[in-house]
Amino acid sequence: MPFHRPSVGEAEIAEVVDTLRSGWLTMGPKTQRFEEKFAAYVGTRHAVAVNSCTAALHLLFEALGLGPGDEVITTPYTFTATVASVLYTGATPVLVDTLAGYPNIDPEAVAARVSERTKAIVPVHFAGVPCDLDRLGEIAAGCGASLIEDAAHALPARYKGRMIGGIGAATAFSFYAGKNMTTGEGGMITTDDSALADALKIRRLHGISRDAWKRYTAEGSWYYEVEALGFKYNMTDINAALGLHQLDRLAEFQRRRLEIVALYDECLASVPGIIRPETPPDVESAWHLYVVRLDSERLRVTRNEVIEYLKADNIGTSVHFIPVPLHPLYQQRLGCRPEDFPNAVALYEQSISLPLFPDMTDDDVRSVCRSLGRIATENRR
């Protein structure tokens, strides 16, 4: 069993074929429809489609005007893209640890690191579980920083009843093939800030101003002006064709994810030394990942050994994440040391992400649990 397999239906395939036959392959009418539909789905005024979540984060930091001397506070328990996208601008990522035994950023550790240089605070909703956005929003407002959410895992998720995507100053989503919905590769930025949305739209396509194009249409449709240093980060209509139908199916995907999670919770409840994931009462997780932790007091196998045993049973797993301070690049560039992030490193050493995707059957889930149950029982202390 693979760790993940995307669910691509006939509607997605037909829409892609329609796009290929339409004569319009790059960003065009389908991207615009996808943006409108996505904005309505999360309940924001604007949605700006791009070619990855990495591009979404970089564009946001560019549009906010970040550069050398500015600081962005984020978590070590994330994918490299969250931190790399800050470095692209010349600004400095400032990492603060997660809570103890819990994969989201510690808001009080954020509060302790803010300074007049802090321009953005970037929580990552790990596995789809929203961070403490009330407290983080308060800290951001207190120092004049923007709250930018890395919601690559958090579609669809809710914080105190509110959809993720409409809470912070802006939110970045991923449609990578492994995420809860996919466009192959792709990303989306949501925001209620119209000026920010305009700055993002200009920068995602070479810094070309549409307004100048409108103003000068008298000169002919060939005319444009470059008004900012932009990038080539636009989505294509081929990707948007997939996105339109994946978004239609997201509620059905989520219903199935919840069933799979409930079955994992039930089947793993009696397995010795396996700590199941927990969600606080005031949030609804997107359940992007089902991450179990191994209790080393009760098991005499390492995380890596368990992964190998599961692999021998043909079960694909993954590890989220190798903390940022463990990577050589960040040790060199940020001078960060793993021992300064004991909570994130401890989580990493205990964690295994089990297969979780809508097309899994109940029998698939039970066979993962049987295998993990056998490994744990044979290796209990």
Distance CA 222, CA 208 (A): 12
Convert residues 249-288 into a mask of x (bound to ligand PLP by CB under 6 A) and - (unbound). ----------------------------------------
Q: Pseudo-torsion of CA 52, 56, 62, 68, nearest 10°?
A: -80
Binders of ligand PLP among residues 306 to 325 (CB under 6 A) are none
Tell whether residue 152 is a contact of ligand PLP (CB under 6 A).
yes
Distance CA 323, CA 112 (A): 21
Cβ atoms of 137 and 114 closer than 8 Å: no
In whole angstroms, the minimum distance from the beta carbon of 286 to ligand PLP comes to 12
Tell whether residue 233 is a contact of ligand PLP (CB under 6 A).
no
Listed residue (62, 82, 89, 38) closest to 203, CA to CA: 62
User: What is the token pair recorded at 346?
Assistant: 């401890």
In whole angstroms, the minimum distance from the beta carbon of 277 to ligand PLP comes to 16
Binders of ligand PLP among residues 58 to 117 (CB under 6 A) are 78-79, 81-82
Of these, 19, 31, 52, 350, which contacts ligand PLP (CB under 6 A)? 52
Q: Tokens 């900012």 label which residue?
A: 228
Given the residues 37, 179, 201, 214, the one annotated as active site: 179
Task: Specify the stretch interacting with ligand PLP by CB under 6 A; choose among 1-9, 52-60, 105-113, 333-341.
Answer: 52-60
Tell whether residue 54 is a contact of ligand PLP (CB under 6 A).
yes
In whole angstroms, the minimum distance from the beta carbon of 122 to ligand PLP comes to 10
In whole angstroms, the minimum distance from the beta carbon of 178 to ligand PLP comes to 7
Helix, coil or strand: residue 145: coil
Question: Could you confirm whether 179 is annotated as catalytic?
Answer: yes
Helix (H) or strand (E) holding 35: helix 29-42
Tell whether residue 176 is a contact of ligand PLP (CB under 6 A).
yes
Convert residues 180-209 into a mask of x (bound to ligand PLP by CB under 6 A) and - (unbound). -------x----------------------
User: What is the token pair recorded at 143?
Assistant: 């120092």
In whole angstroms, the minimum distance from the beta carbon of 225 to ligand PLP comes to 29
Buried b (16+ CB within 10 A) or exposed e, 168-200: bbbbbbbbbeebbbbbbbbbbbbbbbeebbbbb
Pair type for strands 98-99 and 102-105: antiparallel
Q: Which residues are tagged catalytic?
A: 179
Question: What residues make contact with ligand PLP under the rule CB under 6 A?
Answer: 52-54, 78-79, 81-82, 124, 150, 152-153, 174, 176, 187
